[in-house]
Amino acid sequence: MFIVIFFPTFISSDLGQKNVDQYPLSTIRKPNITILMMFPDIDRFIPNLKSLLIVYEYIVDRYNISNWLNVHLKIKDSNCSISLAPHKLVTTMLSTMPDVVFGPFCDLAVAPVARLLHYERIPLVTMGAVSNDFTLQRETMYSTLFRFGYRTDELGALLIKLFQYYKWSFVKFVYEDDPKPWHECQVLLRPIAHTFSSNQVRSDNRKITDRDKKDNYKSIFLDFISTNASISLWCVKPKTFRSAVLSAQKLGFVNGEYAFIYLDTVLTQDNTDEKSLAVRQPWYDPLEKDAEINRNARRAFETVLFVRQRLYTDERFRRFAANVVHFARITNRTNQLTHESSSSIKIGTDETNFYDAVVTYFKALKTHYSKQNLFEPSNSDAIRIYSPLNAQIFKTMICNRSIEGANKNITMNQICDRIDIGYAIYDMDPESGELEAVVAYPAEPFSIENKQLQWLNESRLIYFIGNNSTFIPDTPRCGFNNIKCPKKTLIPIWGWIIISLSVIIVLLLIVGLILYRRAKFEAELKAMQWLIRWDELITRTLSHNGVATPSFNKLSASQKRNSIASHHSADSDLGGPSKQTFTKTAIYKSSVVALKRFHKPKLETTRALQLEVKAMQDLQHDHIARFIGICIDPKHQYIVTEYCPKGSLQDILENEEIKLDTMFKYSIMHDIVKGMQHIHNSQIGSHGNLKSSNCVVDSRFICKITDFGLPSLRPETNKGSPPGAVEDYAYYRSRLWTAPELLRDQNPPSAGTVKGDVYSFGIILQEIELRNGPWYLRDRELEPAAIVESVKSGSLLRPTLEAGDGNTEIGQLMKRCWHEDPNERPEFSDIRQVMRRINKDLDSGNILDNLLKRMEQYANNLEGLVEERTSDYLAEKKKAEELLYQLLPRTVAAQLMVGQPVTAESFECVTIYFSDIVGFTTLSSESTPLQVVDLLNDLYSVFDGVTENYDVYKVETIGDAYMVVSGLPTRNGDLHAREIARLSLALLNAVLKFRIRHRPETQLLLRIGIHSGPCVAGVVGLKMPRFCLFGDTVNTASRMESNGKALRIHVSSSTAGILQKFGTFELKLRGDIEMKGKGKQRTYWLLGEQGGLSAQHTLVNWNDDITDEH
């Protein structure tokens, strides 16, 4: 249990002033005390005697120690020496026995000094003595030791907890001896090893020798570390460690399977506070000229963990440090501070620990003296003797207690060792290359119950290599000494046996595979799966005008420019009939196939035929029409191949409606070249019958080669000439593509030759480039027979190719292809190179782009055709609609065109016009029928022209009768009467001017009657439907016409009533007229319209009221 005790003199004013001011100094007897300070006076060593002396004087000055105590200070340089330190102590003790000893620091110096003071009971206060030997043998040898600094007990606890966290079970210690005494590696490693062994962690150690340094530490890694440990603990100089880690990287130990822990416990002026340590880059050597080595070192140091004292540099520490530096400036001794640099003057943690130790001692001393009435006045001149503060009394005052310190509260355990400060592990940030404190022990704030590691940043783990590796396994992946990954050695005997057996097995497999393929080949030949029965084919014939290829089979006008006089077409049957036929197709297994007929009276499936068929089956290429099979039925002998619905290349070239741009032409040429190259490289060897009609285009606009191979089935058409003129024409025309040497050969090969195919391709090039048909000769017209005979005779007659006709390179290629000497003709491989050079885009390998370009070209052609057909269709549709509108009202016609039924519609009031010609019967009897037709046609043409100017609808004409209505089918209020009245006046005036062609002296006598009333309108009939009017109004209007007079307008009373509303029409009352079926009706004559037409003319006697006969 710890007791927190605060001495009454802990405040600076209390330690030096309390009770002193109450009495004159002359009345106070100040005790005497001898203090011995033994620290190394070595430059750049921490702690340094000079800097600690400044801290001591600062304490004396701040707390006014001289006011109540006479201090005799003895200063000795221990030099961290195991022999010099006790010598200096004994020398001092012989002259003056010290009351307390501050120091030494190094374990080698502390041990003999502490043993001497043990028997004298003199307190030894130090910030060193880190070894746990001072803990284990405290009562027997070091009972007067008081440790205020770091201890290896906390260092061992930190490491063992780290090992337990990562489940590491073995560690290797690597250390080196150094002439300087403060590198006490054995002092550090011995207690750590003891801690590991107490917690079942095995360890081993090795000292670095000169031999190790010469071989660049290779044996340490290969012979020592890699045998049984993935974790090593290093206590060496920084430069030695850097060189070793670089060697580890070269040897492959920086791989995420090994970690190196470096004991960085030697304090220097560069690493005594958190900030300076954080920015340290131990991997960097400023003197290194090769930047690559520094980069490698940075990578290697990612696997390194640094262990060093945890620094407590909070606000209290910074205030204390500033006060000490200020005191040094006042006394002009800043140059004696160990941490003085060009940029700042600082003090470290050890000065702070020294401060806490000295202040704690003085406070305990004053408390001890206060109990002896130090500050009470004395009237006696006798000398007062004060009992010293020995180690035993000092222990009772500070052991097992928590005391306030300059930086943080000090916690002392039962043997007077400070236990609230410990160590931390620093890891390098892979991105910045700087060290960061990651985990520490003991935890802060300190608690005796808390025995866990303290992770200083919850989001920050230990990165062993890079940001991804946060764990090192206890055993490497390949095991120690690579036992799981043995090195490659010479093949043993059993290895040779396995290899030999493997080779034998492979050879047997190869032989078996060859035999299997041979047996499979023979089985395929015997199976004859290519045989197709006739009943499996559903035949059909596609004509030129068939739906499959309507746009590609139209003969163009270019044939008129052709050098071949006749327009006969090459036949597609193998027998070669003279009449024009086209590809025969059939349905086979739900697919359309093409049929090529052949004639073999006695056909036997010999092995030669089977081999020919097998060669055709094996020939698979994008630019070759696929062979499907053969039908050998005696009456139906056909070669069945893939069907290409776009027709042959000849069809496309002869159809001027198909626009072929340069890209499309080169695509076709390139397709033919690739297909022919594949044929020449196959078992078939050559085509023998290459021409434009044997190049077909599929639905994807890919040109494919067809009609080749199977020489046993093909007729020898090159031998002899079929009888008959038509056959002669077809025979010679089919040989327009044949090479001269084959024409001259009396027994040419049935499959042709490679060079002969090149010649045929040259003719096709001319067809594609010029689109003037095969063998175009400018200003000449020769029959195919004449052309063939001329070529056969050895003349240099060739198709016309002039400058400006297409691409120059294509023209040169044509000439090379149809060269007279076959040896001068290029191979198809050379032709393909030329095509690549002409159009680089075609052979780029992007099949989709080429296909899309072809589709776009074809789409443009179709768009032009569709646009033309659409315009024709729209024109005809408009004519039909106009004709329909002349037969029916527009609204009724619109309903009929969309398929809607037309229902009868009732109209409340319309005006109907009836007229006929008086004396028409007599006129007709005196005229011929054609004259009557001409009369009526002329008259009604005039009438129709007049009616277009009014809102009326012509219902019908029957003979000389003319019927018009207004107010339907579109209602117009009361305007129907006005429109009919005006129409009547206009027609009457038109008749007065009308002359009969065959009787120009005769005046037509028009009789008009109009009536207004309700009416029903509707379409009658399905064939030749008629728009008819129904109701009494129609009958009344007819009676008004028949009871009228010539050249007059007879108006009913209902119409007259409506016209009177307008106030512009002149009407004359006729009176009451007896009408058949109507009784007496009051009627009127229409005389005219004010400001308009008039019906009053000289031909009419208005007093005559007798009805005219028809």
Across 214-223, 466-475, 478-487, least confident range: 478-487
Look up tokens 């791989």; give the residue. 255
Which residues, at least 6 apart from 394, have a Cβ–Cβ distance to it below 8 Å?
123, 146, 361, 364, 416
In degrees and rounded to multiples of 5, residue 205 shows phi and psi of: -135, 155
CATH (one of 3.90.550.10, 3.40.50.10490, 3.40.50.12140, 3.40.50.2300) for 3-150+317-378+385-411: 3.40.50.2300
Q: Is 362 helix (H, G, I), strand (E, B) or coil?
A: helix
- pLDDT tens per residue, range 934-987: 888 888 888 888 888 898 988 888 888 899 999 888 888 889 999 999 999 999
For the stretch 456-469, pLDDT in tens is 888 788 888 766 67
The DSSP annotation for 729-751 comes to: HHHHHHTTTS-HHHHH-SS--TT
Q: What is the pLDDT of residues 276-311, one digit of tens each?
A: 555 578 888 888 888 899 999 999 999 999 998 888
Strands 32-39 and 1026-1030: unpaired
pLDDT at 1106 over 60: no
Least confident of 5-14, 189-198, 328-337: 5-14
d(CA 693, CA 700): 18
Q: How far apart are CA 151 and CA 132, in angstroms?
A: 7
Residue 12 has pLDDT above 50, yes or no: no
Which pLDDT value is given to residue 733?
A: 85
The CATH label, of 3.40.50.2300, 3.90.380.10, 3.30.750.24, 3.40.50.800, for the domain at 152-264+274-310+423-455 is 3.40.50.2300
Q: Residue 1102's pLDDT band (boundaries 50, 70, 90)?
A: low
Average of per-residue pLDDT values in the chain: 81
What tokens were used for 15? 């330690």
CB-CB contact of 985 with 947 (8 Å): no
Least confident residue range of 227-236, 260-269, 836-845, 1050-1059: 836-845
**Greatest extent of the chain over all pairs of C-alpha atoms, in Å:** 190
Pair 54, 156: CB distance under 8 Å: no
- 904-939 pLDDT, tens digit per residue, is 888 999 999 999 988 888 888 888 888 888 888 888
Distance CA 1051, CA 1060 (A): 12
Are 563 and 773 in contact by the 8 Å Cβ rule? The answer is yes
Most confident range (mean pLDDT) of 458-472, 550-564, 865-879, 899-913 is: 899-913
Structure tokens belonging to residue 918:
């008086």
> Does an H or E element contain 219, and which?
helix 218-219
Query: What single-letter DSSP state applies at residue 598?
Result: -
Predicted local distance difference test score (pLDDT) of residue 179: 47
Distance of CA 991 to the CA centre of its chain: 84
3-state secondary structure of 166: helix
Element housing 912 (H / E):
strand 905-918
* 3-150+317-378+385-411 matches 152-264+274-310+423-455 in fold: yes
pLDDT confidence tier of residue 1105, bands split at 50, 70 and 90: low
Strands 202-207 and 170-175: parallel
**Lowest-pLDDT range of 84-93, 541-550, 932-941:** 541-550
pLDDT beyond 90 at 1075: no
Instruction: Give me the pLDDT at residue 1019, please.
Output: 82
Tell me the per-residue pLDDT of 106-145, one tens digit each, with 9 for 90 and over: 888 999 999 999 999 999 999 988 888 899 899 999 999 9
What is the band of 89 on the pLDDT scale with cuts at 50, 70, 90? Answer: very high
Q: Find the mean pLDDT for residues 761-767.
A: 89
Cα R_g (the chain), whole angstroms: 63
Checking DSSP bridges between strand 100-102 and strand 124-126, what pairing results, if any?
parallel
- Shortest CA distance to 306 belongs to which of 340, 263, 349? 263
Q: Which residue has the higher pLDDT, 467 or 398?
A: 398
Structure-model confidence comparison of residues 580 and 674, the more confident one: 674
- SS3 sequence, 112-135? HHHHHHHHHCCCEEECCCCCCHHH
> What's the whole-number mean pLDDT along residues 1010-1021?
88
Residue 22 pLDDT exceeds 60 = no
* Nearest of 689, 593, 690, 595 to residue 644 by alpha carbon: 593
Q: Within 10 Å of residue 682's Cβ, how many Cβ atoms?
A: 17
HEC string of 501-563?
Answer: HHHHHHHHHHHHHHHHHHHHHHHHHHHCCCECCHHHCEEEECCCCCCCCCCCCCCCHHHHHCC
What are the percentages of helix, strand and coil residues in the chain, rounded to 5? Answer: 40, 20, 40
* Percent over 90 (pLDDT), the chain: 24
Flag whether pLDDT at 1088 surpasses 50. Answer: yes
**Is the pLDDT score of 81 beyond 90?**
no
| Mean local confidence (pLDDT), 16-43 | 67
Better-predicted residue by pLDDT, 857 or 527: 527
Q: Which CATH class is domain 903-1089?
A: alpha beta
pLDDT band at 809 (very low <50, low <70, confident <90, very high): confident
Cis-peptide, bond into residue 112, ω within 30° of zero: no
pLDDT reading at 18 higher than 50: no
Q: What is the pLDDT of residue 1013?
A: 93
Dist. CA 576–CA 341, nearest whole Å: 111
* CA 172/CA 183 separation, integer angstroms: 19
Cα–chain-centroid distance for residue 858? 32
pLDDT (mean) for 423-435? 87
| Backbone torsion region of residue 529, taken as left when φ is above 0, otherwise alpha when ψ lies between -120 and 50, otherwise beta | alpha
| Gap between the Cα atoms of 993 and 1000, Å rounded | 11
Residue 541: pLDDT band with limits 50, 70, 90 = low
**What is the C-alpha to C-alpha distance for residues 1097 and 449, in angstroms, rounded to an integer?**
140
268-273 average pLDDT score: 52
pLDDT band at 861 (very low <50, low <70, confident <90, very high): low
873: tokens are: 């269709």
Closest CA to 399 of 104, 181, 708, 138: 138
Confidence of residue 1011 (pLDDT cuts 50, 70, 90): very high
Q: pLDDT at position 412, please?
A: 93
Q: Could you give the CA distance from residue 991 to residue 984 in angstroms, rounded to a whole number?
A: 11
Contacts of residues 739-742 at CB distance under 8 Å and 24 or more positions apart, as own/partner, are 739/822, 740/791, 740/792, 740/794, 740/820, 741/822, 742/718
Read out DSSP for 258-324? -EEEEE-----TTSSSHHHHHT--TT--TT-S-HHHHHHHHHHGGGEEEEEEPP---HHHHHHHHHH
Domain boundaries, the chain: 3-150+317-378+385-411, 152-264+274-310+423-455, 527-551+571-843, 903-1089
CB-facing half-sphere around the CA of 42: CA atoms within 13 A: 17
For domain 527-551+571-843, give the CATH superfamily: Transferase(Phosphotransferase) domain 1 (1.10.510.10)
Handedness of CA 334, 337, 342, 346 (dihedral sign): negative
More confident call, 309 vs 878: 309
pLDDT for res 562: 44
